[in-house]
Structure 1
Amino acid sequence: MWSHSICKEPNLMLKQLERKLGRFCVPHLTWILIGGQTLFFLGILANRDLYGQMVLVPNMVLEGEVWRLLVFMFIPKTLSPIWFAFAMYILYLMGNALEAHWGEFRYNLYIFVGMLGTIGAAFIVPSQETTNFYLMTSLFLAFAYLYPDFEFYLFFILPVKVKYLGMLTAAFLVFSFIGSDLSGQLAISAAMLNFSLFFGADIARRVKGGKKRMAQKAQAIKEASTPFHTCSVCKRTDKSDPQLHFRYLPGEGDPVCYCEDHLPE
């Protein structure tokens, strides 16, 4: 079931973490992300150099620009006012849905695991710039996984179920991973860490269950196509000639099958 996407042992661990750390949750995290991105969106429109001060560059962090460890989370995806407003609406929609599904603590955990993973991966190649792009993408994948039949209207006209957009996004990430250098691959892997932790076990179970169902279906098809009666003379069967009648007569060993056209006189 979609609502039990985390396997039992990790689920128990999460409950224990929530009891110990739940009081440290950041309330209204979605609104903070929206507010931060809106603030920096306006700031970048006023001063394009601000973007360069927001991206996560570990070498710059080590030189004292520690704010980059946080503000990279507020980098807007676009500088188009219309598309930015649309992106914030989607973020609001996804964030509220995920928080309602998981609860405040697990929603916080999902985002901060991705954030810390992204920061950790960035320090492996400290000269490269890192943004929140893949982390926000992991948020979309979580929404698509939990609410596969939710519909978005592309260009405000064409209804498309989010599961198909999720599949396209996953394919994009795979091709991006293959075509990226080490820093890009690390960024993708780190940002997807939260998705793997929350949904990996469920996906593995579904794949295993799917293989089992396919094997059972193949076996059923094989059994359905296997004839029950085969004439010992002409080799016609109840499958090849469903209207044909068969009879069994005593033989030297087992009874011998004959169709009605070849019954011994």
Structure 2
Amino acid sequence: MHALQQWLDRFCYKHPRLSIPGLMRYIVIGNVLVYLLDMFSLGNVPIASSLLSFNANAILSGQVWRLITFVFVPYSSRYILFFALTLYCYYFIGNALEREWGSSKFTIFYGFGVLLNILIGFVVGYTSMFYVNMSMFFAFATLYPDLQLLLFFIIPVKAKWLAWIDGAYFAIAVIRYLLAGHFLLALIPIVAVLNYLLFFASGIGSQLSYWKRKAQFRAGAQQSKRQSGPKVVNFHDAKTQTKQAYLHKCAVCGKTDVSDPQMEFRYCSRCNGYYCYCADHINSHIHIQ
């Protein structure tokens, strides 16, 4: 998976023309237009959505425009405030990812989600971009885990905790489909998570390895302390040993997991090499190429 992520990074770097600057702006505008057309439809059938949504049988019958237009079909909602809030979140998160990655990588990330949905749509018969749009928050929380967001515009919550709530929503959706006997429909949220993992599995693995090594280091240090008992400490030697005992060191400021045990350290996938950065500099350093 790490090799695949490196290939994706190189591909995005070498093909800057494969980008749509401001992609989420067009996605949001398209959703608004389709939503308004559905509101003015006669009867209870949303005509615009029914003509533009993904339908495998209709596509195979010649309605090939659905391969593109299903991207602009909004998640059905009778509450316009909820719809507006959802689109605002899509726009905010999409723009943040594009600023961090660049237009090329974000376009390819979203494009992979579209492609995977098309493939699964022909298997299931139907699909939508709802879960892919929701999975963008996983990417956002991975890049900005400690960023505080206002839940309901009141409660400050870190992005990483909201990501766990988002993950629980995906798990409930999969379980609900399975319990209802809709086994193929359960693939739609799973595919959305797979698209996220294609771009972040390596970083997640590095972070998990870091947490594991840090826990082992602390457990070993505590065990050694219990076994050795109280003793006279040479502060000069202790300082030297402490400097040599760190597991991770920020390539910008020099902080280590020993000098700042509460700091999180991550490795940058865009740098050409295995460079570690603290949480203060993972999103603000100059990438080494």
What TM bracket, shorter-length normalisation?
0.7 to 0.9
How is 1:142-161 mapped onto 2 (pairs within 5 angstroms)? Answer: 142-161=139-158
The CA deviation at 1:159 is 2.0
Residues 1:39 and 2:33 aligned together: yes
Identity %: 30
Q: Is the 8 A contact 1:72 1:132 kept in 2?
A: yes
Q: Is the 8 A contact 2:93 2:140 kept in 1?
A: yes
How is 1:64-103 mapped onto 2 (pairs within 5 angstroms)? Answer: 64-77=62-75, 78-103=77-102
Q: Structure 1 counterpart of 2:28, which letter?
A: I
2:246 counterpart residue number: none
CA deviation profile, 1:221-260 (whole Å, cap 9, x unmatched): 22222254xxxxxxxxx79xxxxxxxxxxxxxxxxxxxxx
1:3 counterpart residue number: none
> Counterparts of 1:219 and 1:24 in 2: how far apart (Å)?
49
Q: Which runs of 5+ in 1 are unaligned?
A: 1-5, 229-237, 240-265
SS of equivalent residue, structure 1 residue 24: coil
Q: Is the 8 A contact 2:5 2:202 kept in 1?
A: no
CA deviation profile, 1:126-165 (whole Å, cap 9, x unmatched): 2xx3211111011121112212233332222222222211
How is 1:225-264 mapped onto 2 (pairs within 5 angstroms)? Answer: 225-226=226-227, 228=229
1:258 counterpart residue number: none
CA deviation profile, 1:62-109 (whole Å, cap 9, x unmatched): 122222211221122334222222222222211111111000100001
Residues 1:216 and 2:213 aligned together: no
Q: Is the 8 A contact 1:45 1:79 kept in 2?
A: no
Q: Is the 8 A contact 2:18 2:108 kept in 1?
A: no
**1:62 paired residue among 23, 43, 60:** 60
2:111 counterpart residue number: 112
1:204 counterpart residue number: 205
SS of equivalent residue, structure 1 residue 182: coil
Residues 1:141 and 2:138 aligned together: yes
The CA deviation at 1:115 is 0.7
> Counterparts of 2:150 and 2:193 in 1: how far apart (Å)?
26
Residues 1:131 and 2:128 aligned together: yes
What is the TM-score of this pair, normalised by structure 1?
A: 0.75
Q: Is the 8 A contact 1:41 1:76 kept in 2?
A: yes
1:244 counterpart residue number: none
Q: Is the 8 A contact 2:24 2:90 kept in 1?
A: yes
> Counterparts of 1:74 and 1:144 in 2: how far apart (Å)?
24
Q: Is the 8 A contact 2:124 2:185 kept in 1?
A: no
Q: Structure 1 counterpart of 2:218, which letter?
A: K
Q: Is the 8 A contact 1:114 1:192 kept in 2?
A: no
Assess, with a 3 A threshold, how the Cα gap between structure 1 residues 223 and 24 changes in structure 2: closer, same or farther.
closer
Assess, with a 3 A threshold, how the Cα gap between structure 1 residues 83 and 200 changes in structure 2: closer, same or farther.
same
The CA deviation at 1:22 is 2.5
Q: Which runs of 5+ in 2 are unaligned?
A: 232-289
1:11 counterpart residue number: 6
Q: Structure 1 counterpart of 2:57, which letter?
A: N
What is the root-mean-square deviation of aligned Cα atoms in Å? Answer: 2.3
2:24 counterpart residue number: 30
SS of equivalent residue, structure 1 residue 123: helix
Mean Cα displacement is larger for which, 143-152 or 98-107? Answer: 143-152
2:234 counterpart residue number: none
Mean Cα displacement is larger for which, 195-204 or 151-160? Answer: 151-160
Q: Structure 1 counterpart of 2:37, which letter?
A: G
